[in-house]
Structure 1
Amino acid sequence: MLLRKATVKDAPQIFQLLQMFAIEGLLLPRSMNSIYENIRDFFVYEVDGKIVGVGSLHIFWEDLAEIKSLAVLPEYQHMGIGKKIVKACIEEAKQLGIKKVFALTYVPEFFKKLGFKETDKSQLPQKVWTECIHCIKFNDCKEIPVLIEL
């Protein structure tokens, strides 16, 4: 078992894992191009050469970053993998001098256990006006914003 930064060769497995959750409506879809363009944002959790968990830290502004594309294969859930990925993202944010990290999630309780608090999307204008505005779910978004101050 290994938590590490993603490499370019991981992109196809990252895509497949995220696509599985996107098809179920649990994550927004990511294109292969988007994964390649943002590969440096990703952490992967590997078991016997297979990526079973993924998450990314995307910088928005000098003091704001988002945890995105957090997913763990169903058979590996409830084993602490998602928690380890989130903690790695938070640690990287601290190293970069980021003051606030947020996520948009359907599972706010998971993040609350890690110290996040629910917030309002109005507190995240960089996200709303650069990405959310272009999302097909913009007018009917059910994701709950959570935020942690570092």
Structure 2
Amino acid sequence: MIRKAKISDIRDIHRLITHFSRHGSVLQRPLSELYEYVRDFFVFIPEGETIIAGTCALHVTWEDLAEIRSLTVAEEYQGLGVGEDLIEHCLAEARELGLRRVFVLTNVPDYFQRLGFFLIDKGTLPHKVWADCVKCLKFPDCDEVAMIKEIK
């Protein structure tokens, strides 16, 4: 089941993000930030379970642009389409909000290319996007690429 996150989900979201940030696949997020942006998040809860096993956020950055961020899926659920489903929920919300474009910063471009994203120059993104980059351990030697998808 995928649904919007609740305040009571934040500790589980933080646990997943912390786990995957240790592998360098997502940016670590402090608890305070997760509580502040709870409305950005979708969560995946496997059938018959109570613990969150996946998460993804849609963060609006400008009047026509949002970022998909903090995509995590517990190892035992990877390869089952959970990540794609989480992204599709984010894209559906972007459409509902009237956004025209959604971008992602990623080190797995093939994954997002299969979902209709295409490579762009990071420099074309608004400066506001880079506020998170300075918090990253990889900054300024980032190995991520920017990708974008037009919303219809």
Normalised by the size of structure 1, how large is the TM-score? Answer: 0.94
Say if 1:121 and 1:128, in contact at 8 Å, map to a contact too.
no
Is 1:86–2:87 an aligned residue pair? Answer: yes
Q: Distance in 2 between matches of 1:105 and 1:49?
A: 29
Over 3 Å off, 4+ runs = 126-130, 133-136
C-alpha distance after superposition, 1:90-128 (max 9, x if no partner): 010010010110000111111111100011101112344
2:126 aligned residue: 125
- The CA RMSD over aligned residues, in Å, is 1.2
The answer to whether the 8 A contact 1:104-1:145 is kept is: yes
Residue correspondence of structure 1 range 70-81 to structure 2 within 5 A:
70-81=71-82
Aligned CA distance change for structure 1 residues 7 and 32 (closer, same or farther; 3 Å): same
Contact 2:41 2:56 in 1 (8 A): yes
Aligned to 1:107: 108
Q: Give CA deviations for 1:20-48 in whole Å, capped at 9, x if unaligned.
A: 00112221111111110000000000011
What secondary structure is seen at the aligned counterpart in 2 of 1:90? helix
**1:100–1:148 contact (8 Å) kept in structure 2:** yes
- Distance in 1 between residues matched to 2:139 and 2:51, nearest whole Å: 34
Aligned to 2:56: 55
Distance 1:4 1:39, change over 3 A: same
- State how far apart, in whole Å, the 2-side matches of 1:128 and 1:28 are: 13
User: Aligned pairs, how many?
Assistant: 149
User: Could you tell me which amino acid in structure 2 is paired with residue 21 of structure 1?
Assistant: F
Tell me what 1:40 maps to: 39
Aligned 8 A contact 1:60 1:126 in 2: no
SS of alignment partner, residue 79 of structure 2: coil
Contact 1:121 1:145 in 2 (8 A): yes
Stretch of structure 1 that moved more, 2-11 or 102-111: 102-111
User: Identity of paired residues, percent?
Assistant: 44
- When residues 41 and 64 of structure 1 are mapped into structure 2, their CA distance, relative to the original with a 3 A threshold, is same
- Whole-angstrom distance in 1 between the partners of 2:53 and 2:92: 21
Matched position secondary structure for 1:101: strand
Q: SS at 2:45's partner residue?
A: strand
CA shift, 1:79, in A, is: 0.3
Q: TM-score, normalised by structure 2?
A: 0.93
